[in-house]
Structure 1
Amino acid sequence: MTAARQMPLSAVDAVEAKDGGCVARKRVRADDPYLEGHFPTLTVYPGVFLIEGVQQMLELHLDGELGGIELVSVESARFSLPVLAGDEVRFDTAITGDRPLLSTSTRCTVGGRRCARIAATWRWAA
């Protein structure tokens, strides 16, 4: 069994199951330590953090703990709206496949407006 990794970044606040996938939420806070100094005059949540959010959501949804899923590839990632401090991101994710590989299609929204679409492949950690 692989030990769960320590997470310096809490990329999701809540996860719930839905038909064919799951939904997660993350409130972006300007005082989160990992955002310090990142675009100091305008705290923009980096797109790579959205991808990390998909990973943590999958881990919590499928295994109940962090550290069990690894990113294999990002087939596409389109960022269409900046996510700012104070925003709540909603991750709506469809999951296909089964062990050892999963594919996800995620639509990230803030206030009902799409901020990103991410299609990726994942595998269970060895």
Structure 2
Amino acid sequence: MMDIHKILKQLPHRYPFLLVDRVIELEKGKRIKALKNVTINEPFFEGHFPSRPVMPGVLMLEALAQAAGLLAFDALGTAPSEDMVYYFAGIDGARFKRPVEPGDQLILEAELLRTKAGIFKFKARATVDGELAVEAELTCAMRSVA
């Protein structure tokens, strides 16, 4: 549905902070399903943790927010501009259910619950091999920086 080249046109994030590799499903204004291939080459594994590498929970939430951002931009029918920033505004009910390790494929899913005045509320979850890794409700805001 959306390869890395299209994602790079939609998201301002770049290495080492781009956390979505591909969009595999996108239902306009409703839901998105994307993936993040987790490899031992991720820079955060060097310190988290050297003897037992685990993807930090905040980065799993960030990956979900990036997928949700792709859904929001698609729902609006616009690409982000340099004078527009997409911020986290809230994270509710975050629950971490399993560690995410090198070699895992994180499946990112977000459903748009509502939007008003540039504020977006999503129900989001990420799984590995069908097993829930993290879930949360995310609130994000689009704001002009000009």
In which range does the TM-score fall when normalised by the shorter chain? 0.7 to 0.9
46 and 65 in structure 1: CA distance in 2 versus 1, 3 angstrom threshold: farther
Counterpart contact for 2:123–2:137, Cα < 8 Å: yes
Count of matched residue positions in the alignment of Structure 1 and Structure 2: 123
Task: Specify the alignment match of 2:56 in structure 1.
Answer: 46
- Residue 4 of structure 2 is matched in structure 1 by none
Q: Does 1:73 align with 2:90?
A: yes
Could you tell me which residue of structure 1 aligns to residue 68 of structure 2? 58
Deviations 1:102-126, CA, capped at 9 Å, x for gaps: 1111121000011111111111122
Report the equivalent of 1:125.
143
Structure 1 segments unaligned to the other structure (5+ residues): none
Per-residue deviation at 1:18?
A: 2.8
**Residue of 113, 120, 124 corresponding to 1:96:** 113
TM-score by length of 1: 0.85
TM-score relative to the length of structure 2: 0.74
Deviating 4+ runs (over 6 angstroms)? none
Q: Which amino acid letter does the alignment assign opposite residue 40 of structure 1?
A: P
Unaligned runs of 5+ in 2: 1-11, 74-78
1:83 to 100, 116, 136: 100
Distance across 2 between alignment mates of 1:120 and 1:13: 20
**Partner residue in 2 for 1:34:** 44
